[in-house]
């Protein structure tokens, strides 16, 4: 009996020792896991990077038509007015979902809305060559459908970041996300000519459209509309976010009359229109300008279009860093927003006026590059202002102002085709410059960085 008791005691001690060893091994594994960069990388910046990649795809799928339209118009015998109609048809759908996307995101959450948008526009992109072969009406419908998908992206992103990103990181996070659009333009403009030469223009739409499925699978597994919904979020980061974000509860009712009674809201709407007129003209017509005016071939047009967008991606992040630094040093948010947006308006206005005075292609490309480089400071101006003045309604407010911006894209892109048939590129640039000047005055007189809607 004594032997059995002693044996049981030894077994018990042995088990305790094994348990201690196993627990220490688990603790070491946990420490190693905690030490891995993907475990300690802030989750809010994972969300920002995923939004960045969505916007990268957004502009890749948008700008490929500006390159593909050159061989397509030659194949189908389209005149400049028809090209302008095709380019502007995207904005018809884009216009439809701006406000609806903002309402949807603010009520059900940005994760579902942004995920829907990426899948929708990716499918529409992949179907574009089939639609073109069926005829012009089918192509216009495909472009409208693509616009419907992309129309929800900005309101949904704005809703997500208003919940995930502290005020002190707002300009940098938005600048990074919007730089995804610029790098998407770079990627689309750089790879489209190669794909067209190697495999024909339909390959651009098939290859770019398929990338949306890859993004969507990652988005489903990693993203949440709010930090409160993320079970894997570290407690310290959750506390940091929830105590420093202004957008807390989902919206149940929308005070439209109150929103539309605020002058800063109308300043945003008007400024967004003035800004997007010039931006969308450059986005859709720049390859044509390089091809027809500067006499670049298809490959050269695509490559030279890359430089301005690359500079935009860089200057947007520089502007975001400058804006957040100024705010952290005590400069008022109102002052910072007005400084950034003034640069974003007057910079492009100045450099576009120089295009009529330059004679060399190099100087023309330089003017275009500087124009768009200074334009990118708008990401720390009017594009950050929605979350400043109405954090709870940021998705809806962006939907409102971007509706005006899309109208500028619709009218500006179509009007450019008409102007080019009856006038010159100088006339196109003069209209853009005039609107940049109007936007400068309106934003500086009526905008604010203070919260005006609870």
Q: What is residue 319's predicted lDDT score, i.e. its pLDDT?
A: 92
Phi (first) and psi of residue 221, to 5 degrees: -85, -25
Q: What is residue 247's predicted lDDT score, i.e. its pLDDT?
A: 54
Q: What is residue 248's predicted lDDT score, i.e. its pLDDT?
A: 52
Alpha carbon distances (Å) from 101 to 54, 113, 252, 403: 16, 7, 15, 11
Structure tokens at 195: 């794909």
Structure tokens at 223: 């993203």
| Residue 45, C-beta contacts closer than 8 angstroms, at least 6 positions apart | 173
CB atoms within 10 A of CB 308: 25
Q: How far apart are CA 323 and CA 333, in angstroms?
A: 9
Q: Give all domains of the chain, ordered by start, each with its CATH number.
A: 42-227+234-446 (1.20.1250.20)
Q: What is residue 33's predicted lDDT score, i.e. its pLDDT?
A: 47
Which stretches of the chain drop beneath a pLDDT of 70?
Answer: 1-40, 244-251, 283, 298, 302
Q: How far apart are CA 17 and CA 268, in angstroms?
A: 68
Q: What is residue 25's predicted lDDT score, i.e. its pLDDT?
A: 46
Handedness of CA 317, 321, 326, 327 (dihedral sign): positive
Largest CA distance in the chain: 111
Structure tokens at 375: 């334009």
Q: What is residue 305's predicted lDDT score, i.e. its pLDDT?
A: 74
Beta strands in 181-243 (DSSP E): none
């Amino acid at each position: 009996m004594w032997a059995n008791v002693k044996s049981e005691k030894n077994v018990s001690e042995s088990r305790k020792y094994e348990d201690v060893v196993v627990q220490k091994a688990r603790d070491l594994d946990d420490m190693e896991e905690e030490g891995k960069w993907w475990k300690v990388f802030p989750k809010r910046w994972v969300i920002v990077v995923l939004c960045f990649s969505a916007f990268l795809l957004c502009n890749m799928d948008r700008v490929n038509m500006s390159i593909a339209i050159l061989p397509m118009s030659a194949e189908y015998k389209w005149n400049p007015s028809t090209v302008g109609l095709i380019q502007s048809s995207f904005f018809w759908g884009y216009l439809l979902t701006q406000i609806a996307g903002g309402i949807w995101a603010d009520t059900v959450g940005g994760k579902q809305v942004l995920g829907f948008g990426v899948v929708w526009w990716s499918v529409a992109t992949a179907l574009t060559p089939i639609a073109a072969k069926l005829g012009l009406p089918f192509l216009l419908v495909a472009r409208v459908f693509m616009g419907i998908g992309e129309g929800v992206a900005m309101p949904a992103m704005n809703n997500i970041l208003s919940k995930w990103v502290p005020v002190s990181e707002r300009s940098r996070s938005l600048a990074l996300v919007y730089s995804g659009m610029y790098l998407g333009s770079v990627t689309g403009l750089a790879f489209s000519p190669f794909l067209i030469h190697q495999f024909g223009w339909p390959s651009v739409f098939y290859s770019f459209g398929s990338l949306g499925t890859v993004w969507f699978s990652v988005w489903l597994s990693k993203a949440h509309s709010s930090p409160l919904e993320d079970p894997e979020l570290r407690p310290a980061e959750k506390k940091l976010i929830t105590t420093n974000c202004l957008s807390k509860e989902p919206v149940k009712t929308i005070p439209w009359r109150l929103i539309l009674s605020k002058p800063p809201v109308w300043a945003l709407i008007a400024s967004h229109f003035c800004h997007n007129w010039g931006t969308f003209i450059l986005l859709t017509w720049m390859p044509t300008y390089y091809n027809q005016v500067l006499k670049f071939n298809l490959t050269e047009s695509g490559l030279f279009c890359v430089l301005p967008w690359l500079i935009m991606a860089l200057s947007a992040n520089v502007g975001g860093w400058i804006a957040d630094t100024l705010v952290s040093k005590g400069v008022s948010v109102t002052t910072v927003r007005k400084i950034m947006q003034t640069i974003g308006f007057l910079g492009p206005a100045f450099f576009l006026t120089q295009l009529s005075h330059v004679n060399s292609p190099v100087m023309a490309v330089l003017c275009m590059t500087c124009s768009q480089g200074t334009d990118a400071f708008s990401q720390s101006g009017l594009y950050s202002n929605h979350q400043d003045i109405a954090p709870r309604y940021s998705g809806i407010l962006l939907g409102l102002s971007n509706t005006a911006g899309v109208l500028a894209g619709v009218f500006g892109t179509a009007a450019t085709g008409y102007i080019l048939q009856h006038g010159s590129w100088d006339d196109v640039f003069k209209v853009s410059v005039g609107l940049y000047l109007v936007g400068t005055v309106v934003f500086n007189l009526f905008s604010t960085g203070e919260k005006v809607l609870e």
